[in-house]
Structures are given as C-alpha cells and as structure tokens.
A and B are shown apart, each in its own frame.
Chain A
Amino acid sequence: MSQREITYAKAINEAMSEEMRRDKEIFFMGEDIGIYGGAFGVSVGMIEEFGETRVRDTPISEAAIIGAAAGAAATGSRPIAEIQFSDFISIGIDQLGNQAAKMRYMFGGRAQVPMVVRAPIGSGTGAAAQHSQSQEAWYCHIPGLKVVTPSTPYDAKGLLKSAIRDNNPVVFLEQKLLYRKKGLVPDEEYTIPLCKGEIKREGTDLSIISWGRMVPMVLEVAEKLAKEKKCEIEVIDPRTLMPLDKQIIIDSVKKTGKAMIVHEAVLTGGYGGEIAAVIADSEAFFHLDAPIRRVGGFDVPIPYNPELERNAVPTPERIEANIRELLQ
C-alpha cells in the first residue's frame, strides 16, 4: 500500500474534497473558507475546484450557519459547516442542540440531518480565553449529536469521510495545534468507522484514555517511561467521544488494572468524568487496583501569557507526575 506524508490540515482538505467529488449533494460553508482558505488554511484550493456555489463564504452569523446547515440537511443536501473557532459554536448552539440534534427523534424518526460541523478546538496559540476552549463535553451531553476528534492526519481523513457520509449531525473537532503536524496517509481511498476507538500503544501496567492533542503528549510520556523501564502504558484514543466505544476502554482496563483519563478540557464536568463512570460501572471495576485518575485542565479560562497558558492544561510533566503517583 503506497503512502504519503501530509499534514492534519491537508488530510481534512482531502477528505472534504474527495467526498465533494463523489457526492454532488455535499456543499461546504463557513466564514472565510473561500479565497482566504479558512482561518487555518484548511480549505485552500477548494473554492478554485468547486466554485462559489459549493464552497460558500458566509456572513459572520454562526446561528444561521449551523441552523441553515440543519435545514439544508433535513431537505436533502449534505452540508459541511465550518465554524472558525469551536468557541463560536456556542452562538449557534440552539440550532445545534435544539434543532439539528433533536429533529429526527422529535419527528418520530421520519427525518434525518446529515450534516457536519467542523471546528478547531484547544489552547496553545496565545489566543486567550475566547479562542482556546475545549468544550467537547457540551456537545456530548446532547443526544442526537455524534462527536468526533481525531489525533492524527490518518484518523482525521478517515473519520471525516465517515462523518460526511453519516446521516446524523456530527460535530467534528479539529485540533488547532495538530493542523501542521504530518503523518502517513494511504494513497488509496479509505474510511474509518465512527464510534470505534483505537489502541495507540499497547501496554500492561496502566490504561490511559485520551483524545485530541493530548494523545501525542501522552504517547511521548509513555515512551519516556518505557525507556526508563518504569512501566508499559496502554494508550487508547476513543476518536469518537459520542457515542463512545466503551468496550475498548473496559477491555484495556481489565487487562492493566489501572486507568487514567487525560484531556485538555477543564476537569470539572469534563468528559473524563463520564469515562471514569463507564469504567466504574463495568466489570472492569473488579480489576482495578488503584483509583481511577483524571488529569485535565484547571478550572479556569485559558490565560494569555504563554507560561500561564501552557500550565492551564495538562503538560508532559504533570502527566508524568500523575502516572508516577498512580503506579506507586
């Protein structure tokens, strides 16, 4: 199988472009996605290929972007809506949560809303409190939405293609700090099913469940501790947070007997609490020989100063310290 190295941003661009070539019902809209190529350059070249009808620059109107996507989806189109920063989804969250997510159920199963809302998430760019949040737990708390967040270019491409083909509203959260990171992607077409996690590293001593840009950070710490012969950590990336692949988590914890969840989002009310509950509620509970540990962002908005910002969310040092404590 031939492969190429491409960035996470390019992987997303390829997923959208390939799907748009395949299915004429798909269109793409958002702020500055046309000639500007998107705030993070994800859609560079797409307006040239697909034209202004299918790659639509919108007014700055997030409620209308998300709501119009829902209306278009319910009537036979397949929209991809980009929200420039995931922090602005909150402006359209009524349309997402009260309309798009519930339409099928409220209408007795007689409608479907095949749309994707793509948005970059996370801190680390110095953009401060209103451009740096990780609010995945908000969307996971809305039945009817699927919530996906890839940690590699390979996953990004395969998962986005599945999200576009899915007949439900999918919130596709892209990791700002991973956009420029490269990874291998096959030349041939492929998809990755939603709702399936992946073991990113096998291990025997501790299961760490993590997603987004925390995955490469956790992997780095795991490699370091393995080199030091301290422990072998199993790292699981659920990739789709909602609906969650519970089994992959439960099986891993049964094997290792220890569980830790690492996410960038603020700890309190974060999705890590849900995962901890899934573990505690399952037969994995009887295999645990230590409390379940969560490592998340502090319960504060993201500050501007670079050092404060770095320390507001999990760092390799903090992850390592927690692992050492748990393994004692």
Chain B
Amino acid sequence: MEKNTGKNGKRKSNLSKEKLQDMYMKMLHTRAFEEKVAYFFSRGMVHGTTHLYVGEEATAVGAIANLRADDWITSTHRGHGHTIAKGLDLNRMMAELLGKETGYCKGKGGSMHISDITLGHLGANGIVGGGIPIATGAALTVKLRGEDKVVICFFGDGAINEGTFHESVNMASAWKLPVIYLCENNQYGMSTSQKKATNIDDLSVRAQAYGIPGKRIDGNDIFEVYETVREAKEYVKKNGPYLIVAETYRYLGHSKSDANRYRTKEEINEWKTKDPIPRMRIYLEENKIFTPEELDGMETKAKQDIENAVEYAKNSPDPDPADLLTDVYAD
C-alpha cells in the first residue's frame, strides 16, 4: 500500500476541477461530521450508539463519485460517509442524529437508519449483512425494468461472513444483476480481526466461488477506488456482479463503548500515515489544481457547514408524540 508520501501526485486523473473539489469536500464533510458526532457522544448529548467512519472516507467518496443521484446504494451501520457521498443534506442528517422531526427519518431511525429513497439511498442498516440482499433486489428492479442504473452495495469484512452475502452474490451472479458488492475491509468486525474470522488473507478471492470478478484495492486511495468502481460499473451493466474489497481502517472505536483492547496503538498510528484526506490534498497541491490557501479554505468551510448543521438540528422541533403510531403501514 502506498504511504502518504505524495506518490499520488504522479497519478494521472482526468477528473475535472469541480469534480475533484466536490470529492475532497465530501471527505472533509464526512470527517468533520464524524468528529462532531464523536464529541456529542463523549458528552452524552446524543441518545443511543453510533459507528464512525473516520479514516475510511476515500472508499465511500471514491466509489459514489461514479454514481448519479438515481443510482442506488445500500449502506451499513457505519453509514454517515456513504450518506454524505450520496449527496444527502448535512442538516437533515444531523437533525436525525438528534432525533428531530426534520431529520431524514423524522427522528424515528437515528444514525443506523438514515436513508433517502429519492436520492438512491436505501438506508444505513442495523443488521450486519442486512443490506446485501436489499441491494440485490434493487439490482433486480433495474434489470427487470431495463433501466440504465447500477447498485453499489457497501458492507464490512464482518458482514462478508453472513449467509446473506453468499446467498445474494450467488443469486446476482446467476441472474447477472448490475450490482457492485463493495466490501470495506477495515480489518475488524467490532473486536474480531478479519484474519481470525476467516482463513483467507485476500477476501476478494471469494468472487471466484461465484464466477464473478473480484479485486482487492487500496481503499484509502480515492483515485484507485474511483477508477476501480468506474470499470466495475461498466462491467456490471453488461455482465453481472463484481466484488471489490477495499482495504481501509477505522481509527476510532467500533462504537461509543470500545476500549480498543484488541489492537495496538502502533497499528492505529501506522494506518494514520495512510490517511486518505492528506493523500488527496497532496495530490491536489502537487498538481497545482488548488493552492494551499484554497485547500485551507475548503477545510474551514467543511467545519463551518457542520456547525451550521448542528445549529439547524438544535433549532428543529422534536417529533409530535402522535408520530409514534404513524408510518407503520402504507396507505
């Protein structure tokens, strides 16, 4: 895996300046959003639990940069990054975390259920592996209706050991459905190392069992993620599913109650040298796409946008108590 040395500067990317700015901003927004949420939890200001995406931003942003608003994704319990990358509104996301009426789920879902069907987001998920069949079904709709869309199914290295993964990939492969299964291997499912939970090093070899292509990539290199997903997108539209395993790492605990007893400080620090955000920044600077001042400005703006989202959320009303009984059934 490449170190944070500026090697990325040599990589050629034909993305437009606007696109690069959008991608960089989405990584910054995700980082700032998560840091704010971590702060809320440490102060006991938010109810429940949460799973933060800090360190993994390049995977969601690089992958989803290939999608249109009407392409579908399924997300996970660690879903804020996918959600921001899919273009959902920061204000309404923050409002959902605070359980407000203006949140994406009217305060009923919280962190683990944020979704917006109108923006192609089929939901974070409280069930590990729960989104994998859902993505498969979305791809089935696309195929049955003859639509020009793709589905990206995000899931973790832990989820890859659920039956839902194996059943879904096989079905999608047999039916040649347009879905990219994107495993975010952040090395652990909660406290359990991927190396202990399976007897394989490279999870992408599982693709072979289903007769589909599989590729292992550096999930902290936004350009590698972008390019791989771009190729996979063209492939799945014609040929059926593709498995990508993006190697990445979460710096923070699994959830708010994690003493990090299962890994070392050295390991965490080693991964911090591969942080995807400085890596993209180095690329943008070395190629003189943006000046350092412009990049600093983006960082300031990202933080300010999150502050604004917090203000919006705090000033939003709580749900009406009568909402408890609504939305159980469709009309």
Which A residues have a C-beta under 8 Å from some C-beta of B? Answer: 31-32, 34-36, 39, 57-64, 87-88, 91, 125-131, 298-301, 303-309, 311-312
Inter-chain contact B161/A61, CB cutoff 8 Å? yes
B189: nearest chain-A partner, CB-CB: A60
Which of A32, A39, A301, A305 counts the most chain B CB atoms within 10 A?
A305
| Interface set, chain B 41-75, CB cutoff 8 A to A | 46-49
Q: Return the contact of A304 from the options B48, B129, B189, B192 (Cβ within 8 A).
A: B48
What distance in Å separates the Cβ of B323 from its nearest Cβ neighbour in chain A? Answer: 7
Residues of A within 8 A of B163 (CB): 61, 63-64, 91
Inter-chain contact A311/B324, CB cutoff 8 Å? yes
Residues of A within 8 A of B258 (CB): 36
Inter-chain contact B108/A305, CB cutoff 8 Å? yes
| Interface set, chain B 307-331, CB cutoff 8 A to A | 318-319, 321, 323-325, 328
What are some 12 contacts across the A-B interface (CB < 8 A)? Answer: A32-B191, A60-B128, A60-B159, A60-B197, A87-B127, A88-B127, A127-B112, A131-B112, A303-B108, A305-B110, A306-B47, A308-B321
Residues of B within 8 A of A303 (CB): 107-109, 319, 323-324
What distance in Å separates the Cβ of A244 from its nearest Cβ neighbour in chain B? Answer: 30
The 5 closest A-B pairs by CB, nearest first: A126-B48, A130-B126, A304-B110, A126-B47, A36-B191
What distance in Å separates the Cβ of B171 from its nearest Cβ neighbour in chain A? Answer: 17
**Is the contact region of chain A dominated by helix, strand, or loop, or is it mixed?**
loop
Residues of A within 8 A of B130 (CB): 130
B328: nearest chain-A partner, CB-CB: A300
Apart from the given pairs A125-B49, A129-B108, A306-B47, 9 other A-B contacts in the complex at a CB distance below 8 Å: A59-B192, A64-B163, A126-B110, A128-B48, A303-B107, A303-B319, A305-B108, A305-B318, A307-B318
Inter-chain contact B127/A304, CB cutoff 8 Å? no
Which of A59, A307, A309, A312 counts the most chain B CB atoms within 10 A?
A59
Inter-chain contact B162/A60, CB cutoff 8 Å? yes
Inter-chain contact A298/B109, CB cutoff 8 Å? no
Residues of A within 8 A of B125 (CB): 130
CA distance A253 to B96 in the complex (A): 46
Residues of B within 8 A of A130 (CB): 112-113, 125-127, 130
CA distance A306 to B110 in the complex (A): 10
What distance in Å separates the Cβ of B248 from its nearest Cβ neighbour in chain A? Answer: 18
CA distance A298 to B327 in the complex (A): 13
Which of B99, B100, B258 counts the most chain A CB atoms within 10 A?
B99
B141 in the interface (beta carbon within 8 A): no
Interface range on chain B (Cβ under 8 Å from partner): 35 or more
A94: nearest chain-B partner, CB-CB: B163
CA distance A129 to B159 in the complex (A): 19
Given contacts A32-B191, A35-B191, A308-B324, are A59 and B48 in contact (CB under 8 A)? no
CA distance A34 to B261 in the complex (A): 10
CA distance A171 to B127 in the complex (A): 20
Residues of B within 8 A of A309 (CB): 47
B5 in the interface (beta carbon within 8 A): no
CA distance A154 to B324 in the complex (A): 35
Inter-chain contact A127/B158, CB cutoff 8 Å? no
What distance in Å separates the Cβ of A134 from its nearest Cβ neighbour in chain B? Answer: 16
B196 in the interface (beta carbon within 8 A): yes
Residues of A within 8 A of B268 (CB): none
| Interface set, chain B 115-135, CB cutoff 8 A to A | 125-130
Inter-chain contact A57/B196, CB cutoff 8 Å? yes
What distance in Å separates the Cβ of B207 from its nearest Cβ neighbour in chain A? Answer: 19
Inter-chain contact A125/B328, CB cutoff 8 Å? no
Residues of A within 8 A of B161 (CB): 59-61
CA distance A62 to B49 in the complex (A): 21
CA distance A186 to B262 in the complex (A): 34
B130: nearest chain-A partner, CB-CB: A130
B159: nearest chain-A partner, CB-CB: A60
Residues of A within 8 A of B323 (CB): 303, 308
Residues of B within 8 A of A311 (CB): 321, 324
Given contacts A130-B126, A304-B48, A304-B109, are A57 and B192 in contact (CB under 8 A)? yes
| Interface set, chain B 152-195, CB cutoff 8 A to A | 158-159, 161-163, 189-192
Given contacts A36-B262, A60-B128, A304-B105, are A125 and B48 in contact (CB under 8 A)? yes
Q: Return the contact of A36 from the options B49, B128, B129, B261 (Cβ within 8 A).
A: B261
Inter-chain contact B324/A35, CB cutoff 8 Å? no
CA distance A312 to B322 in the complex (A): 11
What distance in Å separates the Cβ of A327 from its nearest Cβ neighbour in chain B? Answer: 27
Residues of A within 8 A of B262 (CB): 35-36
CA distance A301 to B112 in the complex (A): 14
Residues of B within 8 A of A58 (CB): 192, 197
B198 in the interface (beta carbon within 8 A): yes
Residues of B within 8 A of A60 (CB): 128-129, 158-159, 161-162, 189, 192, 197
CA distance A87 to B323 in the complex (A): 23
What distance in Å separates the Cβ of A201 from its nearest Cβ neighbour in chain B? Answer: 30
What distance in Å separates the Cβ of B251 from its nearest Cβ neighbour in chain A? Answer: 18
A85: nearest chain-B partner, CB-CB: B126
What distance in Å separates the Cβ of A42 from its nearest Cβ neighbour in chain B? Answer: 13
B164: nearest chain-A partner, CB-CB: A91
Given contacts A59-B158, A128-B109, are A300 and B324 in contact (CB under 8 A)? yes
Inter-chain contact B108/A304, CB cutoff 8 Å? yes
Inter-chain contact B107/A308, CB cutoff 8 Å? yes
Inter-chain contact B197/A59, CB cutoff 8 Å? yes
Residues of B within 8 A of A301 (CB): 328
Residues of A within 8 A of B259 (CB): 36
Residues of A within 8 A of B192 (CB): 31-32, 57-60
Residues of B within 8 A of A298 (CB): 324-325
Residues of B within 8 A of A64 (CB): 163
What distance in Å separates the Cβ of A245 from its nearest Cβ neighbour in chain B? Answer: 34
